Chains A and B, each alone.
Chain A
């Protein structure tokens, strides 16, 4: 899954940027821009799970939406390997060219309440992607919906019911069934469990792991909860104010972070054990405003290790070890604390 650098990647993102203009006044003049995603590079191997983590406003959702072309990127390449073979640049395709590709990239949404149409039955909801793409006859669609519902752990008899009859966890299963209807190769899951109760969260995470093994899915998992991320990811990319600051295999990132922001994030997670009330690193201040990011390393105003160079020069995301990338001027000489044992 990971490590084998020779394996062709399913998705390769290069220099992705997405800026939103800030308009003001009567003439709606552009007076500035929000650099939501600012030069992001990563790739995802087939069958792997890459997680994008970070706090609100770090650009993780914008990145995922650019990949699905729900947003048009400002710059950069999004190279996606289609089932048919050729690699296409999703960033530059036209609406018509995108349509066949939509079947291969699907999305699981955060809120299972607002992402399902309350006036449609499960058959309509889960069957809609099939209908829109003209897959099969009505009888075939019903059979496929039944199969999908079974796959996500729901009873096929429920297909005539409406979403209100289901709990949050069951609704999320419906959303997953809909995402899988067209046999996608890439599934983007944006905070798929953050709206769920803990006991249900575990069920959905397990389901996602099972489905990945069964169907060979590739996940781009967007989340803010590092404990959840640990349970599902092969590799993790940490974002801060529009940039990836660290990217590594999950275990390595958690036990041996090389970026001060990753260290602070790991330390801030409340550990569910009263005997581990350890000293936490509490970051001062707030996440920088992406409309007016600080010069140099965006993290320097909050970084306990910042030196002069951090205030002026933007660090590049470079490998510090094979497969472990970090964007920090001091990465080589800092000894940072992971979560240990």
Chain B
């Protein structure tokens, strides 16, 4: 099938999935005064005090604060200077949020969503494809902690890698290729707290955050967590991110103040972001993001 038809079909299927489950589809502003400051994410700043969203999370969490229980949004996001075989500076993100739940519920959502998309968009095989390998969302998914993955696939300690600045190298050169060998999606969970700017820490282990990443065929597809709703801790983490940015010679970013002011009223909740372009890549079985968009920036 033509890639654009497949793309449209995947997006429609995702939308059907959430509508059937009673989620409210929302549209929040794409141009905002402040994103959540992160050490390694650079927003595109269009006007002196306005940025394009790097994710809709700030606005969606404010909707949780005003009482909405189940929300989803499919929107464009922008991150400066990100371009590779799996990255575009402008890309399409699916985010969904649930009040009264933690990250375990989101993992179940992921299982159901991927099964729903595979069954509807790959009616013959019910499988996704990455590097010619078939990945079935219908065989049981493994859930592996980050530390377990580093020990098992890299024979290294994740804390040690973080200290030595080797975390990204090991993750992309060793762990992700190992995850590509699984015939079903894999969930990598319980990240060191320093890698989870907006996630809640685990009640029984203050060094870990309730964050997980979904991998399909070794491709990182989604990132979800139990949301932090402590405004003081959230402000401290934003300031820490800005401090790291300053030390790395990056500009500091403004804080989303209205979000911080309402955060105390946010119920216990969980939220997740999933790369729609990558979901289309996996459904189409293609290697690069270029093959699933109407135009790449280089073609404009």
Verify that A and B bind, or say they do not.
Answer: no
B-side interface residues toward A, CB under 8 Å?
A: none
